[in-house]
Amino acid sequence: MATGTEQQCGSLTVFSKEDFEEDWVKVASGGFGCVYQVKHKKWRTVYAVKCSPYLLQDPSTERTSVNCLMEEATKMEKIKFQHIVTIYGVCNSPLGIVMEYMARGSLEKILPTHKMSWQLKFRIIHEMGLAMNFLHSMTPPLLHLDLKPGNILLDGNMHVKISDFGLSKWMEQSSRMQYIESSALRGTLSYIPPEMFLQNTKPPGIKYDVYSFGIVIWEVLMQKKPYAGANMMAIIVKVAAGKRPCLEPISDDWPGECQQMVDLMKRCWDQDPKQRPSFTGVVAKKGTDIPVETDMLLSLIQSLVVDPENERLVRKMSHKPAIAGNQQVSKAAQCMGKCTESPSLLTSS
């Protein structure tokens, strides 16, 4: 019978490799590190362990690495929200964060391989907005600073939970060039706003995340990579000059709601941070001190969302391109809001 070796450190559980079964399945890897699917020996519960190199501020010093990881995990563990990945603790060997396992993996993995319905695309964008609104509504606002499809995870029912909002400390301790180079290695460069590439000494604010959100909207609608094929310097030059991912493929045959989403997307990636909307703006009623919440982004997104239950939200694609042709899009437009028969959420080709 397995005996647990996990310990408590404050509110965090500290796991060791011996707490889990021997079969660690690598489910994702990249510039961010590696994610493993594991099963707890005693609890019989599946978790994900993320070993992420940017959490280790000084890899040559074990104590510094552990302290940094504990600080990051403690911050993440306190955040409880339906669209934020749940953190359960840390693993001391290998060093990583133990978190909720998301059955469908990342949005980055799904976008190029599956055809999504418009309903699902809108729902994903909406749930991303809810998560970011929650983070920005905290006091003080918690900035994500690494919002991208790789950090947008999907559960078995294709609902969104975001992860990895740990770059604030890294940015504080890094030079601008170190941050840009690190972002390039992690595949994050396309989601960085132009002010970060220019001579700007101001620390990032909430409008940083809003810009990233706009780029992700484009990626969800198009199911393509922004600036595909461009190298690091080309992306920096394009973004700093005010250029954005190409909009030419957007068709008049798309549902009318898509144009509204595109308009929102353009506002989010505006060159001027002051012109970008907020996820939640708080203003005072005229003549009073009563705060009134104005959902700048959420009200727009919510108006576009339909209930996609019992619909064919996504199916495996056997051919590229990822976005359907005009004829298929036209059919999708006609079917907006209607149910189609489908025994499952995801069907293989």
Q: Which of 86, 74, 171 is nearest to 131 (CA)?
A: 86
Digit-coded pLDDT (tens) for 107-124: 999 999 999 988 899 899
What's the mean pLDDT in 258-276?
A: 91
| pLDDT at residue 204 greater than cutoff 70 | yes
Phi then psi for residue 146, to 5 deg, are -150, 40
For 266-275, give one letter per residue: b (16+ CB within 10 A) or e: ebbbbbebee
**Residue 146 is a catalytic residue:** yes
What mean pLDDT, rounded, does the chain reach? Answer: 75
The full set of domains in the chain, from first to last, is 10-100 (3.30.200.20), 105-305 (1.10.510.10)
Pick 200 or 236 by higher pLDDT: 236
Digit-coded pLDDT (tens) for 162-175: 988 754 454 444 45
Pick 275 or 286 by higher pLDDT: 275
Query: What crossing angle do the helices spanning 118-136 and 256-268 adopt, rounded to 10°?
Result: 30
Determine the Cα–Cα distance for residues 102 and 49; give it in Å rounded to an integer: 11
Non-local (6+) Cβ contacts of 153 within 8 A are 85, 102, 104, 105, 106, 107, 160, 161, 162, 163
pLDDT at 158: 95
Could you tell me if residue 101 is left (phi over 0), alpha (psi between -120 and 50 degrees) or otherwise beta?
beta
First-to-last C-alpha distance (Å) of the chain: 42
Q: Which of 173, 333, 171, 153 is nearest to 253 (CA)?
A: 333
Digit-coded pLDDT (tens) for 69-108: 777 778 778 889 999 999 998 898 888 889 999 999 999 9
Banded model confidence at residue 299, pLDDT cuts 50, 70, 90: low
Pick 319 or 206 by higher pLDDT: 206
Residue in 19, 23, 58, 146 annotated catalytic = 146
Answer whether 246's CB lies under 8 Å from 221's CB. Answer: no
Answer whether 250's CB lies under 8 Å from 258's CB. Answer: yes
Digit-coded pLDDT (tens) for 218-266: 999 999 999 999 998 999 999 999 999 988 666 667 887 788 888 889 9
pLDDT at 334: 36
